[in-house]
Amino acid sequence: MNAYAKYFVKKLFWYLVTLVIAVSLNFFLPRMIEGNPVAMIVSQMTKGMTDSDTIKRVYETFIQEFGVDKPLWQQFLIYVQNLFTGNLGTSFGLYPKKVTDILASAVPWTIGLQLPAILVGWILGNVLGAVAAYKKGVFDKVIFPVALFVNSIPFFTLAIIMLYVFALTLGWFPLSGGYDFQMIPQLSFEFIGSVIRHHTLPFLSIVLVTIGGQAIGMREMSIYELNADYVLYSKLLGIRDSRISRYVFRNAMLPQITGLALSIGTMVGGSLICEIVFSYPGIGTWLFTAIRQLDYPLISGCTLLIALSVLLANFTIDIIYGFIDPRIKASQMEDQ
Amino acid sequence: MKNSFNILIKSPKFMLGAGIFIVMLALVLIFPMINRKDPLEMIALAFQPPSSQLWLGSDNFGRDLFLELMYGIQTSIRVGLIAGVFATAIGLIIGLASGYIGGIVDNLLTSITNIFIVIPSFIILILISVSINSRSSLVTAIIIGITSWPWTARAVRAQTSSLRNRDHVHIAKISGHSTPRIIVFEILPYIASYVVMAFVLQTASGILSEASISMLGLGPYNTISLGIIMNWALVFEAPVAGAWWAFIPAALSIALITFSLYMMNTGMDEIFNPKIRS
C-alpha cells in the first residue's frame, strides 16, 4: 500500500467512527435526558391527553415509525434501519409530509448559499490577511482591527443589520425568501434573476464574517512565517521578493486549510441562523420552524443532516490536505 | 505573575479590550440599581421609537428596551463566563491527563477530542437544549461549556506532552514528587498564560453560542439575554416594522463584548508569543 492510500484508509476509519458516534448522539441524547421530547410525546399519547384526532394520528404515526414502545436498543436498530432506507419519519408540523422530502427541498438552497459563500469568504480572507502581514504599515493597522471587529460580530447580527439597511431602508434587495412569491420555480431568466437578488444579501453577510476570521488567522500565520529563518536566508541569497512571498504564502496556507476543516462546523451553524434572518428556504429556516412547532422528527432530521454534511466537508478537506502537504506523505513513508 | 501583569498593562490592545469590557460590565451592574423597575413590565405602546423617557424605545410588548438591554448584557456575560469556566476546566483536565499520562490514555483521549472537534458542538447544543424542559441561564451556560471544550483540550495536550520531557520535570520525578504536585508546580505555570487566553476565547464563544441558541428559540427561560432580545425582535417582525432599536443595539452589544474579549486575547497573545508581534 502506498503512503497516500494508507493515509486515506486511516482517515476513513476515523471518520466512520465519528459518523457512528454522531448518529448515536443524535438518537440517544434526546432520549436519555429526563422529560425528553420522545417520552413526552409517548406519555401524552398513553394518557389520552391529546385533545384532537389529528394530533393523535400524528403521534401514532411517530410511535409506529420509531417503535417507541419497544426497548431502547431495539428502537436504535429501527432508527439505523430507517436511516439506511432514507426514512427519517413524518413531520408533525407538516403532517403527513415526510421529513426526507422537506429536507430534500431545502438542501439545494442551503448548499447554493453556504458553499460559495464560505469558499469566497475563505479565499478573500486569506488573501487580505497575507497582504496585511506582507505590506504592514497603515494597511495592516486598518485591516486588522476591522477584521477583528467583523469577526466578533455573530453571523446573524450582521445579517440583521444588512437586512435592515439594504432591504428595508434602501430597498435594494428583497426582504425574505429564496425567490419572488408569485413565481414558479423554472429555468427562465426572470426566475434566475429573482433567485440571485434574494441570494445576494445572505451571501454577502456570510462572506463578510468569514473574511474577518480567516484574515486574522492568515495574518498571524504569515507574520510567523515571514519571521522564519528561511526567509532571512533566502533574502541574503538574493532571491527575489515575489518568489519568497510565494514560499511564505504556501507555508502559511497549510494551517489555514486545516483551520477551514476545523471551523467549518461553526461556520455552517452560523450560516444556518443567517438563513433564518432572511427566511431563506434552507435547512436553517426549517430548523427554526421545527423548533417553534416542537416538530421533533424534523428537528432530529435537520441536526442529523447538518452533522453528516459537516463530517463530509471535513473528510473532503482532510483528503485534499493529504495531497497538498508533502509532509503527510513524508511522515507516512517514515512509518513504513 | 506580577511581572506579566505589568507588561499586560502596557499593551494598548489588551487595555482597550479590558477597558471596553469593564465599562460595559460596570454599566450593566450599576444601572439596574439606579433604575429599579422590572424590565419585563409593559410601560408603553409597541415599538415606540427612542425618546427622552425610553432611551432605546420599546419592544413589541411595550417594554423599555434600554432596561432590557442592561439585563440582557448581564445575562449574556454571565452565561459566557460560566460556559468559559466549564469549557476551560474540562479542556484543561482532559488535555493535562492525555498529555502527561501518555500511552493508551493519551490515544483514547486524543481520539475522543478529535471526534468531538469534528461533530459540530452547535448540533449537540441543539439536541440537549431541545430535550431539557426548564432551562435556566445556568443550565444553558453549563451545556455550552460541556460542548465546547475540545479546542482547549487539544492545545493543552500538545503543550503538556512537550513539557513532560523537559529536564525540570524529570528532576521533579526523580526527587519523588507526586504526580499532582508535578502537574501543579512544574507543568501548570508554563501553560498558565495559554489557559487564561483560552478562557477569554471560550467566554467570547460562549456568548456567541448563547446568542445563536437563543435566536433559534432554545435559549434560557424566564430571563433576558441578548440572544433572546434578538429572538423576540425576529419572531415579532421588528425589522419589518422598521423598529431598528429593537435589534440593532442588542446586536451591537454582542459584537462589542466579543470584540473586547478578542482584543484582550490578541493583546495577551502578542505578549506571551513574541514571535507574532508585527
Q: State pLDDT tens for residues B10-61.
A: 778 888 888 999 998 988 888 877 777 777 777 777 677 777 777 777 777 7
- Beta bridge partners, B63, equal B42
DSSP 8-state assignment for residue B136 = -
Residue type at A252? A
Classify burial at A76, counting beta carbons within 10 Å of its beta carbon; exposed 0-12, middle 13-18, buried 19 or more: middle
| Helix orientation angle between A137-152 and B248-272, rounded to the nearest 10 degrees | 130
Tell me the chain B residues in contact with residue A231 when contact means C-beta distances shorter than 8 Å.
none
B12-22+63-277 CATH: 1.10.3720.10
**SS percent in chain B: helix, strand, coil, step 5:** 75, 0, 25
- What cell does B151 get? 479546542
Note the pTM of the prediction, 2 decimals: 0.84
Cα gap B151→B137, rounded to integer Å: 23
Interface of B with A in 209-228 (CB under 8 A): 211-212, 215-218
Q: What pLDDT sits at residue A336?
A: 47
Is A102 in contact with A298 (CB distance < 8 Å)?
Answer: yes
Tell me the chain B residues in contact with residue A262 when contact means C-beta distances shorter than 8 Å.
117
In SS3 terms, B62-111 reads as: CEEHHHHHHHHHHHHHHHHHHHHHHHHHHHHHHHHHHHHHCHHHHHHHHH
Q: What pLDDT sits at residue A224?
A: 81
Phi, psi values for residue B58, rounded to 5°: -125, 160
Interface of B with A in 187-206 (CB under 8 A): 204
Domains identified in chain A and CATH numbers: 3-83 (no CATH), 99-292 (1.10.3720.10)
Residue ranges of chain A with pLDDT lower than 50? 336
Peptide bond into A96 cis (omega under 30): yes
* Cα–Cα nearest to A272, from A110, A46, A105, A34: A110
- What cell does B161 get? 506532552
Q: What pLDDT sits at residue B81?
A: 94
Q: What ipTM, to 2 d.p.?
A: 0.78
- Beta bridge partners, B64, equal B58
Cα gap A22→A34, rounded to integer Å: 21
Cα gap A89→A107, rounded to integer Å: 17
Is A184 in contact with A242 (CB distance < 8 Å)?
Answer: no
Chain A residue closest to B112 (CA)?
A18
Confirm or reject contact between B266 and chain A (CB < 8 A).
yes
**Residue from A10, A15, A156 whose CB has the most chain B CBs within 10 Å, to mutate:** A156
Domain ranges of chain B: 12-22+63-277
Tell me the chain A residues in contact with residue B258 when contact means C-beta distances shorter than 8 Å.
152-154
Residue ranges of chain B with pLDDT lower than 70? 1-4, 46, 274-278
Size of interface A-B (CB pairs under 8 A): 154
**Residue indicated by cell numbers 495531497:** A323
**Residue indicated by cell numbers 401524552:** A44
Is B224 in contact with A266 (CB distance < 8 Å)?
Answer: no
Q: What pLDDT sits at residue B271?
A: 79
At residue A204's C-alpha, the angle toward residues A146 and B24, to 5°, is: 40
Q: Which residues contact B77 (CB under 8 A, 6 or more apart)?
A: B24, B25, B28, B207, B257
**Residue from A273, A300, A311, A314 whose CB has the most chain B CBs within 10 Å, to mutate:** A273
Q: Which residues contact A32 (CB under 8 A, 6 or more apart)?
A: B131
- Beta bridge partners, A90, equal A98
Q: State pLDDT tens for residues B110-130.
A: 888 888 888 888 888 888 888
CB within 8 Å: A268 and B266: no
* Cα–Cα nearest to B218, from B134, B116, B149, B138: B134
Q: Cα–Cα distances in Å, from B42 out to B45, B214, B228, B248?
A: 8, 22, 17, 21
CB within 8 Å: B119 and A307: yes
**Residue indicated by cell numbers 521533579:** B172
